[in-house]
Structure 1
């Protein structure tokens, strides 16, 4: 008896560890396989032009013992707290940033980060499925399948790093919440994991967490379960207070950015319709999803998993199982409604980004349902229902894209084989552990689909610009800092030529350069600045930008480049085929195959300081850093103003003077007309509502600590009572 019990314990331990480990290993294997066809698969678009440079810069600042708050030289990309996705208070982001700064290969570093989070997602889905009652093999299958859903692979993993991190963390947060609320376990895991999720700074994961918390609260309130209501309220208060800290600055800054005027409208951009969802079980076709490439985005963006075709094997679900899975149904239903909704809902846009959360809900639901019904539910009737479902979805998918008939037919054949295999395993009673064999068989069929994707879709629909995979090479662009720089023209000109990267970089890759360059990536374009310099969110300008830069400002009589403290101009030859005529004080100092390089004869200090005072005003700057300037007024006039080379973000506090209308609509301007000579004025930037942010953070810590202490006391009392009995 003892031997049998020992063996059973070892077997249970092996299963408990083995299935999630298998999910993680297969996820890593499938993810790594994509590198065979495309070694830069995980270094596309926003990773290449956004995350890589952002991580490098943050890591560089952290190594210097600083958390960056504001960088005037970065202009519209320099309000880091409002940008949000810098993860300034997220230890997880700090680790990524520090390793990026210490890595010589941006591609290898980004790839490693993506693979780690895909594995984290796989294990998290497994744990979440187990918390809803799924058997280990089916939970492991769900863990393998979610990281293979189309949007996760081709958009999040390939490009949108912060979205991938959000998706990877949500199952863990949800699992921890269920342990805490439903199972009366310590809230520590939930407190840590939810902090990491919220502090990523990407709002979609937080939106999903809000839905989960509200559903949990309402469900237990209806049941009049006071203890669980209290625990849910504590979890919600913790999350709400942290959300204020991370996201309120962006909300309060939106009024001066292009996001402030965002409207509700449907442009048919990165959202789906009902016929698109028919291809949710086909990994080898594109739905009619409109994006930057036109009406058809080349990639299986709505693909969830082929196993959805086997859902009839798991139906009908018992009423008790439906009640248990109610949170999955609620979140899944809301996500589905949003995915089918308008493409732009104010500042929230492109709802197809929520497809990964729909995949989590559907595949966890599938795992739970199969755990309850398989193999008994794999009847001939359910088999033929699956066949009909396969035929109908294939027909609808063909109707959307008849040109892809071969891929549709091939995928249907593989899916049919998978359905037959699951049916045969279920109908073979002599086969031991049919659930395990069925899950392994589904994983094997999935491997066939992954192999096909390597052929049909070897790369993300989001572009790669083939930037050098060398931190040292990126640092050699504009290596001799000559004051602040700006790039004008089409900065993407010549990216196909490796030698073009010797002359220019793109977006956040400029953070690698020793020169302070303002053409960086921002999610909050400053509206008046954008309109004046016709610059986009990644730093590309129109041809008129150089004329504006070297023009004379009517209010101040100074050149705009002077008001920006710009000392270097890099002009792209694609936009300016003939060398532009430089104004007095500027020289053409370099000509490359793709660029013209202009420099001031006498460089100016970096942006952030005083650049102009009105007639009759004289000031003496006594202290200055990125976030503040202090000056003494030596002389003033009735209409005296001081202009700074800074954007007038909400959050500036002026001590000793008042704010004036910004020059050109985007240069911070201070009214000193009522300041007496000899008095000091301090202009300091803090995130908008900084006292509220600090109070929210402190209160969140109090809530978290109090919850832990209260739970510890309660657990000690229960142990004492049990001991006395």
Structure 2
């Protein structure tokens, strides 16, 4: 009976440790909310993510998938935007729940903490696949989601970055079990689908590195089966990448993402001395950003446990060989983090820090598994303490003003290192399993303890906090009766943080919640000529000249730009326009608020999407207008056969019955109807550029999804029936201890 109970406990121990890691990660994440209720609702999550999810959820609940919205102008090309996650069921779930939510702060907080917990579970599984014991894998599962960049940038603001970092461990684990062990590829296929269709490229780049390393290792080992499986995994990822990213790539030439350059402005990248702060949860290092040469957050913090690595050295040769993928990825992402700040469209390389944390955490767990407690010596404890002192000294040299917190953290780390060393060396605990469990528990406890000084120094993200309303109903009450379409002009950031200002206006994608269609939305792909013409940034802020531009007649068409855009409502920010602007004929000031001026037309015009202007002597009648198409019948063709549409001239438009002309103002879609005759119907329609390739890639993905599991099953059966199991490589077992080399 006792033996049976012991076997049961042993069988369930890994699951218990993993569950403990996931639960503690959730608790640690929630602890930040107790200090800063809006910790996970800042910057892009405030004015970007929630409004985007709300709009996507609204479309999904009405049975539509958004493709293009001409009323949103430069923010309305959804497949090109990528990060809308239009093909991602996880994003759909988040979006639908956002549409049902009344409190955006609560909704976003739950989503963020859930993904941190998901990350912890994936790290545990990945560490186990590399040979880490359950307790040390759980330690890694706790440490990795506590990485400084993950907590203070991705989790606080950049949601898609968090989603990528949370799913990547699951992808890697699924890849290893299907490629290395001939197990079902479905976990890899599902996880990698989620990763790629989130639309955030950084995790996809990491996956490319992992796949290439796996293929090279298989080729070097002359393992044809493993190489074929890696190629299948790579083909799946590549085809998905085409389906998700091709529209953005083909749209880039008309956006601010066009061109390729390599520069180093020292913006959100680190240097070698910064990496010495990787073990300090309260050190800022010298990572430059919007606030100058130092950012008030521990962006390069990896894990407080890093100085303990000498305790686990040297690594056995077979363990080093098994950890080659970890070493390769760790070296590469470290080089990228300290590399140029911009390489083409890839900006701000410190965004790769979550993957430094991932590889370092898993590697630490594997090293501890094979060295603790047998390889731990007093001498190595002293070496670990020396490394801690040196790292803290270099960190102090970079940020001397933080010496009090650095000293406090160093003392806690030193005590923890000594305690772990004592657990390994004491003779009072005879069983190695008990020592390992106690040491892992101590490491997890210290991880939670160090959140306290970290929150004392950095209670919130350094990214902007706009203080947007925590009520969906309140945001839906903004511009309730204004005629479509509307645009905001002026500095939208001027009154950020002032709650009363949100009784008159919204920001970024929160405008999706307004009953009026407002084009001043958030985009990651600003349309170059449009944004320059209206001096508009990616969140919809403009300079003062934008109002003059809207009310000034275009030299080529003779119509005001507002007419060409179909704008009937203008909301002007008072900080930019202290005195009431004088509207032209046909417009009137309908209300003055504390923060805004509201102008409307006397007679509203049709909004964006339809015909805005026809050339001299040319007249047409609009037959039908939808988000992705407009049809019009030619009534007369004059000397100037151009027809201007109130749409941006995006790649992907096709014109049936006429030709594409140079865009008016370099951004308005323009049709040349010279070859048409009266009575002809011209149809202008939009499809994401590269759609045939996207469909073909998706079809091939479907083939792989069906064929690979079948082939995998046959390969496994063949390997199992081989005389010596040739070709079947199971995951490596986890040894209890290494050889005893204690002094």
What are the equivalent positions in structure 2 for 1:289-688 lying under 5 Å apart? Answer: 289-431=287-429, 432=431, 433-688=434-689
Secondary structure (helix, strand or coil) at the match of 1:520 reads coil
Deviates more, 1:224-233 or 1:5-14: 5-14
Cα pair 2:182 2:716 within 8 Å, conserved: no
Secondary structure (helix, strand or coil) at the match of 2:576 reads coil
Q: CA deviation at 1:713?
A: 4.2
The aligned counterpart of 1:284 is 282
The aligned counterpart of 1:694 is 695
Q: CA deviation at 1:4?
A: 4.1
Q: CA deviation at 1:377?
A: 2.3
Secondary structure (helix, strand or coil) at the match of 2:257 reads helix
Q: What is the distance in 1 between the residues matched to 2:143 and 2:216?
A: 30
Q: What is the distance in 2 between the residues matched to 1:374 and 1:719?
A: 35
Q: CA deviation at 1:276?
A: 0.5
Cα pair 2:405 2:453 within 8 Å, conserved: no
Deviates more, 1:347-356 or 1:372-381: 372-381
Q: What is the distance in 2 between the residues matched to 1:594 and 1:161?
A: 30
Q: What is the distance in 2 between the residues matched to 1:505 and 1:5?
A: 65
Cα pair 2:288 2:295 within 8 Å, conserved: yes
Q: CA deviation at 1:499?
A: 1.3
The aligned counterpart of 2:100 is 102
Q: What is the distance in 2 between the residues matched to 1:686 and 1:481?
A: 31
Q: CA deviation at 1:461?
A: 0.8
Cα pair 2:196 2:204 within 8 Å, conserved: yes
2:126 to 121, 128, 135: 128
Cα pair 1:638 1:674 within 8 Å, conserved: no
Cα pair 2:278 2:302 within 8 Å, conserved: yes
Cα pair 1:69 1:80 within 8 Å, conserved: yes
The aligned counterpart of 1:15 is 13
- CA deviations over 1:362-389 (Å, ceiling 9, x no partner): 1100000110011122212211111111
Secondary structure (helix, strand or coil) at the match of 1:566 reads coil
Q: What is the distance in 1 between the residues matched to 2:532 and 2:110?
A: 39
Q: Tell me if 1:193 matches 2:191.
A: yes
Q: What is the distance in 2 between the residues matched to 1:593 and 1:128?
A: 55
Q: What is the distance in 1 between the residues matched to 2:272 and 2:711?
A: 48
Deviates more, 1:353-362 or 1:442-451: 442-451
Distance change in 2, residues 1:308/1:717 (3 Å): closer
Q: What is the distance in 2 between the residues matched to 1:715 and 1:296?
A: 54
Q: CA deviation at 1:9?
A: 3.0
Q: What is the distance in 2 between the residues matched to 1:373 and 1:711?
A: 35
Q: Tell me if 1:260 matches 2:261.
A: no
Distance change in 2, residues 1:638/1:710 (3 Å): farther
Q: CA deviation at 1:284?
A: 1.1
What are the equivalent positions in structure 2 for 1:73-112 lying under 5 Å apart? Answer: 73-112=71-110
Q: What is the distance in 2 between the residues matched to 1:184 and 1:715?
A: 6
1:65 to 56, 63, 66: 63
Q: What is the distance in 1 between the residues matched to 2:13 and 2:711?
A: 35
Higher relative contact order (CA 8 A, sep 6+): 2
Q: CA deviation at 1:8?
A: 2.8
Cα pair 1:328 1:361 within 8 Å, conserved: yes
Cα pair 1:124 1:143 within 8 Å, conserved: yes
- CA deviations over 1:158-217 (Å, ceiling 9, x no partner): 101000000000000000000000010011111111101100000000000000000000
Deviates more, 1:125-134 or 1:398-407: 398-407
Q: CA deviation at 1:498?
A: 1.5
Secondary structure (helix, strand or coil) at the match of 1:306 reads coil
Secondary structure (helix, strand or coil) at the match of 1:612 reads strand
Deviates more, 1:364-373 or 1:447-456: 447-456
Q: What is the distance in 1 between the residues matched to 2:581 and 2:617?
A: 36
Cα pair 2:214 2:325 within 8 Å, conserved: yes
Secondary structure (helix, strand or coil) at the match of 1:630 reads strand
Q: Tell me if 1:234 matches 2:235.
A: no
Q: What is the distance in 2 between the residues matched to 1:429 and 1:637?
A: 99
Q: What is the distance in 2 between the residues matched to 1:677 and 1:496?
A: 56
Q: What is the distance in 1 between the residues matched to 2:6 and 2:657?
A: 76
Q: CA deviation at 1:294?
A: 1.3
1:165 to 163, 166, 184: 163
Secondary structure (helix, strand or coil) at the match of 1:98 reads helix
Aligned residue-pair number: 720
Q: CA deviation at 1:662?
A: 0.4
Cα pair 2:468 2:497 within 8 Å, conserved: no
Q: CA deviation at 1:254?
A: 0.7
Q: CA deviation at 1:261?
A: 3.3
Q: What is the distance in 2 between the residues matched to 1:261 and 1:581?
A: 40
Report the TM-score when normalising by structure 1: 0.98
Q: CA deviation at 1:714?
A: 4.4
Q: What is the distance in 2 between the residues matched to 1:645 and 1:11?
A: 68
Q: CA deviation at 1:680?
A: 1.7
Secondary structure (helix, strand or coil) at the match of 2:450 reads helix
Cα pair 1:120 1:168 within 8 Å, conserved: yes
Q: CA deviation at 1:637?
A: 3.0
Q: What is the distance in 1 between the residues matched to 2:716 and 2:548?
A: 71
Deviates more, 1:264-273 or 1:650-659: 650-659
Structure 1 residue runs of 5 or longer lacking an equivalent are none
Q: CA deviation at 1:12?
A: 2.0
Structure 2 residue runs of 5 or longer lacking an equivalent are 724-743
Secondary structure (helix, strand or coil) at the match of 2:330 reads helix
Q: CA deviation at 1:715?
A: 4.9
Q: Tell me if 1:113 matches 2:114.
A: no
Secondary structure (helix, strand or coil) at the match of 1:219 reads helix
The aligned counterpart of 2:741 is none
Q: What is the distance in 2 between the residues matched to 1:493 and 1:306?
A: 39
Cα pair 2:182 2:715 within 8 Å, conserved: no
The aligned counterpart of 2:712 is 711
Q: What is the distance in 2 between the residues matched to 1:479 and 1:717?
A: 67
Q: What is the distance in 2 between the residues matched to 1:679 and 1:569?
A: 36
